[in-house]
Structures are given as C-alpha cells and as structure tokens.
Amino acid sequence: MSLDTETVRRVASLARIHLEEAEVARLQGELNGILAWIEQLQAVDTSGVEPMAGGGATRLRMREDVVTDGGIAEAVLANAPDRAGDYFAVPKVVE
C-alpha cells in the first residue's frame, strides 16, 4: 500500500496537524515506510502461536516491603530554594 500526497494531506487534516508544503513529501515517505513495515509483519507466519493479551501471565518477583526514610534528605534538599530543617519551606497559602 502506498499513500499519495492528497491522502497524506487528508490524514494530517484529520489529525489536526499543520503541514507546510515542503513537509508533505517527507511525511509521505515516512508513512509509506511505516505501512511497508506493517505489511512485512503481516507476512510472518503466526499459526500455532497463542494470542497474548498483555503480560498478566507472568509473575513478578517479590521483594521485602520495608519502610525507610530514604536516608538522602541532604541530597534531596540540596537544591531547595528554601528549607526549614529537613523539610521544604513553602509560602503560606491558607490564612
């Protein structure tokens, strides 16, 4: 499948993308390359391959759930514009 310049302009219009005239030819080449890649993928034999609806069938490795303070308060607050002890100081917003 190959897109002509009028189809590229139509796709850009539907996507609300403003294209300069010089960009149409470049975008046409890129879109045609994407469609060629999709056609190449459709040629792959997938018979006997079970469909997959995400990675839900895999189990995640569990780790110990430990609460910590991070231990890096100084590094976190090093670039703070204003601080009060180990906390960010912010302007009062409620009277």
Predicted confidence (pLDDT) per residue in 32-85, tens digit: 999 999 999 999 998 988 877 766 667 778 888 888 878 888 888 998 999 998
8 close to 27: Cβ distance less than 8 angstroms: yes
Domain boundaries, the chain: 5-42
Rounded CA separation 89/83 (Å): 4
28 close to 3: Cβ distance less than 8 angstroms: yes
Measured CA to CA in angstroms, residue 88 lies from 73, 79, 92 at distances of 10, 10, 12
Q: What's residue 17's pLDDT?
A: 93
Q: What is the Cα 89 distance to its own chain's centre?
A: 33
